[in-house]
C-alpha cells in the first residue's frame, strides 16, 4: 500500500511540476507586454509614462531576470501568493479566484457526481432491454455529441426566452445580493438549473452509453453465464455485472474531469455565471496574465487532486488492486 | 437482497448529502465573499422594489472592488458621480460649466485661479466639506504615478492653498487653461479624514478599502466584492444639491450590473430587466419600449471619433499626398450601412466631434476637406507619382517598389472587422493594395506602441471640454520608444505640436484667439492628414421606457449624456437621473 501510494505521489508531483512550469511560461511567451497593455487602458499621459512603467514593472516582478522570476514564482506559490491581478491591480489573484470558486463548484460537483450516478444507472437499465435501449441509447448519443456551450444556448433560448420560466443569465436575481435568505436561495437555485443541466446532460449521455456497453460485455462473461445457469435471478446477475462494469467507468471519470472543467468554463460564459469560467473570459479580455495563470494553476491542482482521490478510491473499490498490492508488496 | 437495498439507499443518501452540503457551502462562501468586501455592507434581504429601482449596465467590466476614484479605468460604477463629486460639472452638449462642489470659480489674474468651496455640503458621515478636503485631494495628484498627475506636470500649476473658504491655484506664466478646465470637472474631491490614512502607493494605484464617505446623491448600499454581479446605491436623503439647487434624483435605488457577454446582457435588456443599456446593440433591438437619444439615424450621440492611423514612419504612408488619396478612396457610407446598420455618422474631415461643431470652420472644410471620391483618389495618386508600372492593378511606390499594406483591428471586434474589409476593398478600387488582418488585441497594442504596423483603427478619446485632447492625441511630441496612448502614427511635426500647446494656453473666454488657433490647427490637419477621421462611434444608449420615462432626448429640454461610462456622470449623466420619472 505504502509503495503504491509513494509511486502515485511521485507521479503526481512530477505532473504538478511540469504543468505549473508550462502554466508559468505560457503568459510570458504570449505576445504583448502586460504593463504596456495596462498603460494603454489607463490612457496614461506620456509625461508620466516612465514613472508608471517603472512602478508597474516592479510591482509585477518583471524587473528581475527571467530565471529569477521563475524562482520567485515558486517561492511565492508556496506562500499561497499567486501575484496581483493586472487588470484589477492590486487585487490578489487568489482573492478573485476565491470569489468565483463557490459558483463553479456549485455547478461542477453536482454535475459530475449526479451525471455519473444517473448515467450509469440508466445505462445499466437500458442494456439488453429493447424498448429502453432503443430510446435511451440514441438520446444519449445525441447528448454526448452535443457541445455543452451549444446545449446551454438552446436551453437558455427554450426555457428563458421562449417559455420564460427560468432566468437567462447570472447566478441570482439582479435585485438581490448574496445573503442567507430563502429568497436568495430560491433565486440561486432557479439560476442554477439551466447551466447545471447543460453540464449534466452532456456528461450523462457519455456515462449512459459507456455503462450500457460495459454491461452487455459483462453479461456475456463466463461468470454471468455460470451464475445464470445456477438459476440466479436476472436481477442478481445484472447487479454483479454492474459492479464489474463500474470499474472502468471510474477510471473514465478521472480522465473526463479535465473535459468537464473545460465544459463548465464555456457554460458559465454562456450564462454569464460568475464562476471561474466568466473570470477566465474577463481575464483573457483584459489581458490579465497573472489571473489567467492563477486560474489555470487552480484547475491543474483541482484535476490532479480529483484524480488522486479516484486513484485512492480505486484501491477500496477494486479488491483485485488490493490483493495485487499485497502480493506485490 | 436487503443489504443491497441498504447500499442503494446509502448511495442515494450520500449523494443527497453531498448536494446539500455543496449548495450550503456555496451560499456561505458567496455571502462571506460579499461581506468581506467592505465594512459598511448591508445585504438586501429582500428584493428591491422594481418601481423605485433603476437598473443600468454597460460600464463595469472589472470586478466590483476598486474604490479608488483616481483609477478612472477601474473603479466601481458611480464611485465618482454618485459618491464622490467634482468641483464643477461640464455639459458637453451646451459647452457649459456648472459649479458643483465649488460654488464659484474665477481667474483673478492671468495666473491665479480661485475656487470657492460650496457652503453647507456635508460628507455622508456628517462632517462638513472644507477647503482642506480640496487641498488634500489636489496634493494627492502630486504623486508621480497618480493618473491625474499631469494637472501638476503639464498645466504649469505651481501651488494650491486654502484661504478661508476658497482654494487658490497659482500657476507660472502661460497656464494650460484648457487642461486645467478639464481637471476642474474630472478631479473627484475625497474626504481628508478618511483618505489621510492611505499611503502614496495606495492613493495612486491601490483599491482603497474604505467605508465610502461621499457628498453625492447616492450612498453605497451593497455589492462590493470580487465576483458580485451588481452594485447597489441608495438615495442620499441629505444630498446638498436638493437644498442648494432643488435637484432630486428620481430612483431610490440604482443597480449597476457588471457586464457579462454582450448577448446575455442584451437578453436582459430585452426582457425588461435593464433600464439603461450602454453596450452596443444591433439596430433591430430599438423597437417597442426600447428608445434612443435620437428617434432616427444615427439614434445615438457620437461619443468619439474613429480614426484610421497610418504608420508615418513607413513608405508611402509618410507622404501626405498618399494619405489624402487613401482618405478619398474610403467608401464611408458603405461602412455606415454594412458595419453599423446606420447607427453611426460620418465624421467631419477635421475629426472634431459634433460637440465641437462651433469651432469647425466650414469654409476651411470645403477647401481642404475630403469625401469619398475614387476618381479624385486616383488623380491625387497619379499627380504624386504613384503609378501602376507592372499592370497588376495596383500602384507602385515612386521608386517602383511594390506597395502592399496591411490594415489591422482586434480580432472579434466585428464592426471594425467589417469596416476594415470595406476600407481595403475601396482602396483596391483606387489602386491601393491593402490587406485586412485581425491580430489579438494585446498583439495589436504591442505593435501599435512600437510602430510595427501599416494601418490601424483607434478611437481612444471621448467627449471633453476641449479639442485640445484631440489634437494632443494626434500630435503629441516627443515620440517615445513606446506610444501607449497617443500619436500612434508617430507623426513628427513640431509646428503642429506647438499649435496644440498654444491652444492649451488660450482661455476659453478668449473666443477670438481660440477660434483663430482652431482654424490654424484645422487647416494644418486637413492638409497633412496625419490620421484619417472616419466616423463617430456612438455613445451607445438604449432606454427601456417600461419603468422609467423622461429620458434624455434630442430636441427636448433633457439634452443630457445618457451614459453610465466613467467620467460621464460629472458631465450630464446625473441630470438624466434627476429628470427621470416613474412610468
pLDDT, tens only, B13-68:
555 555 555 555 555 555 544 433 333 344 445 689 999 999 999 998 888 999 99
- pLDDT given at position B30: 58
User: A304 vs chain B: nearest CA distance in angstroms?
Assistant: 20
A221 conformational bin, left if phi > 0, alpha if psi -120 to 50, beta if neither: beta
Task: Note whether A48 contacts B: Cβ–Cβ < 8 A.
Answer: yes
A324 touches chain B (CB under 8 A): no
The answer to whether B498 touches B519, Cβ cutoff 8 Å, is no
Under an 8 A CB cutoff, do B485 and A45 touch?
A: yes
Alpha-carbon distance of A250 to A317, in angstroms, equals: 10
For residue A156, the chain B residues in CB contact (below 8 A) are 267
Give residue A257's pLDDT band: very low, low, confident or very high (50, 70, 90).
confident
pLDDT of residue B28: 53
In the three-class reduction of DSSP (H, G, I as helix; E, B as strand; rest coil), residue B460 is classed as coil
Q: Is the peptide bond prior to B478 cis by the omega test (within 30 degrees of 0)? A: yes
Model confidence at B531: pLDDT above 50:
yes
Phi-psi region of A299 (alpha: psi -120 to 50; beta: other; left: phi over 0): alpha
Of B481, B472, B529, the C-alpha closest to B501 is B472
Could you tell me the pLDDT band of residue A208, with boundaries at 50, 70 and 90? very high
Q: How far is B226 from chain A (nearest CA, A)?
A: 5
Q: Give the distance from residue A329's alpha carbon to the nearest chain B alpha carbon, in angstroms.
A: 31
Is the Cβ pair B442, A31 closer than 8 Å?
yes
* A251 near B CB under 8 A: no
Dmax (CA) for chain A in angstroms is 91
- Which residues on A lie below 8 Å from B23 (Cβ)? 106, 185, 189
Q: What is the mean pLDDT of residues B359-371?
A: 95
Q: Which residues of B touch A101 (CB under 8 A)?
A: 29
User: Do B517 and B532 form a contact (C-beta atoms < 8 A)?
Assistant: no
Cα separation, A121 vs B444, in Å, equals 52
B30 neighbourhood in chain A, CB within 8 Å: 102-103, 178
Asked if A271 and B264 come within 8 Å (Cβ–Cβ), the reply is yes
The overall average pLDDT reported for chain A is 87
Under DSSP, is residue A277 helix (H, G, I), strand (E, B) or coil? Answer: helix
* Cα separation, B44 vs B483, whole angstroms: 46
Q: Searching chain A, which residue's CA lies closest to the CA of residue B50?
A: A175
In this complex, which of B63, B255, B267 lies closest to A161 when CB atoms are compared? B267
CA distance A328 to chain B (A): 31
Distance from CA of A223 to the nearest CA of B (A): 19
From B27, B264, B485, residue closest to A44, measured CB to CB:
B485
Burial of B152 (0-12, 13-18, 19+ CB in 10 A): buried
Locate the chain B residue with the closest alpha carbon to A94.
B226
Give the A window 83-122 contacts with B, CB below 8 Å.
Answer: 87-91, 95-96, 98-103, 105-106, 109-110, 113-114, 117
Task: Answer for the pair B244, B118: CB distance below 8 angstroms, yes or no.
Answer: yes
pLDDT of residue B569: 97
- Which of B194, B338, B262 has the alpha carbon at shortest distance from A169? B262
Q: Which distant-in-sequence residues (6+ apart) come within 8 Å of B54 by Cβ?
A: B250, B251, B253, B254, B255, B275, B276, B548, B577, B580
Tens-place pLDDT, residues A100-142: 989 999 998 899 999 999 999 999 888 888 888 888 888 899 9
Interchain contact A66–B (C-beta under 8 A)? no
- The pLDDT, as a whole number, for residue B21 is 56
Q: Where do we find the cell 454492474?
A: A242
The reply to whether A180 touches chain B by the CB within 8 Å rule is yes
**Beta-carbon separation of B482 and A36 below 8 A:** yes
Question: Beta-strand (E) ranges in B94-244?
Answer: 96-99, 102-109, 112-117, 157-163, 166-171, 218-222, 230-235
Give the pLDDT of residue A179. Answer: 82
* Nearest CB to B27; choose among A39, A48, A180: A180
Sign of CA dihedral A224, A230, A231, A235: negative
A168 and chain B: CB distance < 8 Å anywhere? yes
Task: Using CA coordinates, name the residue in chain B closest to A33.
Answer: B446
B46/A181 touch (CB, cutoff 8 Å), yes or no: yes
Which pLDDT does position B490 carry in this prediction? 96
Residue B215: exposed, middle, or buried by beta-carbon count in 10 A (0-12, 13-18, 19+)? buried
With contacts defined as CB-CB under 8 Å, which chain A residues touch B147?
42, 44, 48
> Model confidence over B172-202: pLDDT tens digits?
999 999 999 999 999 999 999 999 999 999 9
Instruction: Among A32, A91, A110, select the one facing B207 at the smallest CB separation.
Output: A91
Segment B294-318 shows an average pLDDT of 95
Element (DSSP H or E) covering residue B549: strand B548-549
Higher-pLDDT residue of B44 and B506 is B506
Q: What distance in Å separates the CA atoms of residue A133 and residue A119, rounded to the nearest whole number? A: 13
pLDDT at A37: 80
Rounded Cα–Cα distance for residues B486 and A44 (Å) = 9
Residue of A174, A175, A176, A171 whose CA lies nearest to A190 = A171
Do residue A106 and residue B47 have CB atoms under 8 angstroms apart? no
Q: Across the interface, which of A110, A156, A175 has its CB nearest the CB of B19?
A: A110
Cell, residue B250: 428620481
Helices (H), ranges, A160-288:
182-219, 222-229, 234-270, 276-285
| B405: enclosing H helix or E strand | strand B405-408
Of A37-41, A278-282, B413-417, the range with the lowest mean pLDDT is: A37-41
Counting Cα atoms < 13 Å in the Cβ hemisphere of A192 gives: 21
Report residue B468 as a C-alpha cell. 485640445
- Could you tell me the pLDDT band of residue B166, with boundaries at 50, 70 and 90? very high
Write out pLDDT tens, residues A276-324. Answer: 988 888 888 777 888 988 998 888 888 888 888 888 888 888 877 777 7
- Percent of chain B past pLDDT 70, that is, above it, reads 92
Pairs of residues, one from chain A and one from chain B, whose beta carbons lie less than 8 Å apart:
221
- How close is the nearest chain A Cα to the Cα of B333, in Å? 30
Q: Using an 8 Å CB-CB cutoff, list chain A residues near B205.
A: 55, 59, 89-90
Amino acid at each position: 500500500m505504502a509503495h503504491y501510494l509513494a509511486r502515485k505521489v511521485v507521479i503526481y508531483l512530477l505532473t504538478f511540476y511540469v504543468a505549473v512550469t508550462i502554466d508559468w511560461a505560457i503568459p510570458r511567451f504570449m505576445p504583448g507586454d502586460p504593463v504596456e497593455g495596462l498603460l494603454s487602458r489607463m490612457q496614461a499621459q506620456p509625461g508620466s509614462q516612465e514613472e508608471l512603467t517603472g512602478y508597474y514593472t516592479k510591482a509585477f516582478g518583471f524587473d528581475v531576470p527571467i530565471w529569477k522570476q521563475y524562482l520567485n514564482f515558486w517561492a511565492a506559490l508556496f506562500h499561497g501568493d499567486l501575484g496581483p491581478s493586472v487588470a484589477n491591480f492590486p487585487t490578489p489573484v487568489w482573492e478573485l479566484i476565491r470569489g468565483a470558486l463557490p459558483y463553479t463548484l456549485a455547478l461542477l460537483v453536482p454535475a459530475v457526481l449526479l451525471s455519473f450516478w444517473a448515467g450509469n444507472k440508466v445505462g445499466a437499465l437500458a442494456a439488453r432491454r429493447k424498448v429502453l435501449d432503443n430510446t435511451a441509447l440514441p438520446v444519449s448519443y445525441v447528448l454526448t455529441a452535443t457541445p455543452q456551450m451549444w446545449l446551454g444556448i438552446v436551453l437558455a433560448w427554450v426555457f428563458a426566452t421562449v417559455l420564460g420560466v427560468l432566468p437567462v443569465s447570472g447566478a441570482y436575481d439582479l435585485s438581490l445580493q448574496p445573503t442567507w435568505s430563502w429568497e436568495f436561495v430560491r433565486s440561486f437555485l432557479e439560476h442554477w438549473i439551466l447551466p447545471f443541466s447543460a453540464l449534466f446532460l452532456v456528461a450523462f449521455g457519455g456515462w449512459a452509453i459507456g455503462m450500457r456497453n460495459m454491461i452487455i460485455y459483462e453479461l456475456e462473461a463466463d461468470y454471468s453465464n455460470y451464475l445464470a445457469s445456477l438459476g440466479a435471478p436476472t436481477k442478481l446477475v445484472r447487479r454483479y455485472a454492474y459492479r464489474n462494469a463500474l470499474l472502468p467507468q471510474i477510471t473514465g471519470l478521472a480522465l473526463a474531469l479535465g473535459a468537464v472543467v473545460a465544459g463548465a468554463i464555456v457554460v458559465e460564459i454562456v450564462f454569464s455565471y460568475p464562476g471561474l469560467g466568466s473570470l477566465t473570459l474577463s481575464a483573457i479580455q483584459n489581458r490579465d496574465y497573472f489571473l489567467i495563470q492563477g486560474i489555470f494553476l487552480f484547475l491543474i491542482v483541482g484535476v490532479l487532486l480529483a484524480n488522486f482521490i479516484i486513484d485512492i478510491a480505486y484501491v477500496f473499490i477494486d479488491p483485485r488492486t488490493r490483493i495485487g498490492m499485497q502480493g506485490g508488496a | 437482497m436487503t443489504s443491497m437495498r441498504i447500499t442503494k439507499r446509502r448511495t442515494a443518501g450520500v449523494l443527497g448529502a453531498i448536494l446539500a452540503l455543496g449548495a450550503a457551502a456555496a451560499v456561505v462562501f458567496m455571502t462571506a465573499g460579499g461581506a468581506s468586501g467592505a465594512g459598511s455592507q448591508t445585504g438586501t434581504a429582500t428584493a428591491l422594489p422594481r418601481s423605485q429601482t433603476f437598473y443600468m449596465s454597460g460600464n463595469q467590466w472589472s470586478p466590483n472592488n476598486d474604490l479608488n476614484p483616481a483609477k478612472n479605468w477601474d473603479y466601481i460604477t458611480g464611485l465618482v458621480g454618485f459618491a464622490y463629486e467634482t468641483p464643477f460639472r461640464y455639459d458637453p452638449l451646451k459647452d457649459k460649466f456648472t459649479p458643483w462642489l465649488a460654488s464659484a470659480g474665477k481667474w483673478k489674474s492671468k495666473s491665479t485661479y480661485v475656487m470657492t468651496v460650496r457652503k453647507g455640503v456635508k460628507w455622508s458621515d456628517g462632517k462638513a466639506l472644507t477647503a482642506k478636503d480640496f487641498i488634500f485631494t489636489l496634493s494627492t495628484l502630486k504623486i508621480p504615478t497618480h493618473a491625474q498627475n499631469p494637472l501638476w506636470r503639464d498645466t504649469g500649476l505651481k501651488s494650491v492653498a486654502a484661504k478661508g473658504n476658497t482654494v487658490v491655484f497659482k500657476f507660472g506664466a502661460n497656464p494650460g487653461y484648457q487642461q486645467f478646465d478639464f481637471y476642474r470637472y474630472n478631479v473627484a474631491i475625497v474626504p481628508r479624514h478618511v483618505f489621510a490614512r492611505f499611503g502614496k502607493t495606495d492613493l495612486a494605484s491601490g483599491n482603497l478599502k474604505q467605508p465610502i464617505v461621499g457628498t453625492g446623491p447616492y450612498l453605497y448600499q451593497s455589492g462590493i466584492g470580487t465576483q458580485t454581479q451588481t452594485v447597489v446605491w441608495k438615495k442620499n436623503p441629505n444630498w446638498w444639491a436638493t437644498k442648494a439647487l432643488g435637484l432630486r434624483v428620481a430612483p431610490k435605488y440604482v443597480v449597476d450590473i457588471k457586464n457579462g457577454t454582450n448577448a446575455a446582457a442584451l437578453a436582459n435588456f430585452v426582457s425588461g430587466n435593464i433600464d439603461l443599456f450602454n453596450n452596443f446593440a444591433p439596430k433591430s433591438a430599438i423597437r417597442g419600449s426600447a428608445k434612443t437619444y435620437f428617434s432616427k439615424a444615427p439614434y445615438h450621440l457620437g461619443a468619439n471619433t474613429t480614426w484610421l492611423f497610418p504608420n508615418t514612419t513607413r513608405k508611402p504612408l509618410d507622404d501626405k499626398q498618399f494619405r489624402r488619396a487613401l482618405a478619398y478612396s474610403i467608401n464611408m457610407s458603405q461602412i455606415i450601412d454594412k458595419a453599423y446598420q446606420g447607427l453611426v455618422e460620418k465624421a467631419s474631415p477635421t475629426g472634431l466631434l459634433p460637440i465641437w461643431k462651433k469651432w469647425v470652420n466650414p469654409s476651411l472644410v470645403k477647401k481642404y476637406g475630403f469625401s469619398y471620391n475614387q476618381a479624385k483618389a486616383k488623380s491625387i495618386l497619379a499627380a504624386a507619382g504613384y503609378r501602376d508600372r507592372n499592370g497588376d492593378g495596383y500602384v507602385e511606390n515612386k521608386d517602383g517598389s511594390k506597395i502592399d499594406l496591411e490594415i489591422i483591428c482586434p480580432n472579434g471586434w466585428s464592426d471594425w472587422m467589417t469596416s476594415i474589409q470595406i476600407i481595403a476593398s475601396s482602396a483596391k478600387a483606387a489602386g491601393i493594395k491593402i490587406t485586412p488582418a485581425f491580430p489579438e488585441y494585446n498583439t495589436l497594442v504591442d505593435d501599435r506602441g512600437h510602430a510595427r504596423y501599416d494601418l490601424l483603427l483607434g478611437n481612444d478619446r471621448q467627449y471633453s471640454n476641449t479639442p485640445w485632447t484631440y489634437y494632443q492625441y494626434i500630435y503629441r511630441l516627443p515620440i517615445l520608444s513606446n506610444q501607449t496612448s497617443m500619436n500612434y502614427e508617430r507623426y513628427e511635426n513640431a509646428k503642429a505640436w506647438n499649435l496644440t500647446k498654444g491652444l492649451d494656453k488660450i482661455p476659453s473666454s478668449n473666443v477670438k484667439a481660440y477660434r483663430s488657433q482652431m482654424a490654424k490647427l484645422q487647416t494644418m490637419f486637413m492638409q497633412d492628414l496625419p490620421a484619417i477621421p472616419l466616423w463617430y462611434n456612438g455613445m451607445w444608449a438604449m432606454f427601456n421606457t417600461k419603468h422609467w420615462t423622461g429620458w434624455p432626448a434630442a430636441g427636448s429640454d433633457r439634452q443630457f449624456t445618457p451614459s453610465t461610462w466613467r467620467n460621464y456622470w460629472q458631465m450630464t449623466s446625473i441630470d438624466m437621473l434627476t429628470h427621470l420619472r416613474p412610468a
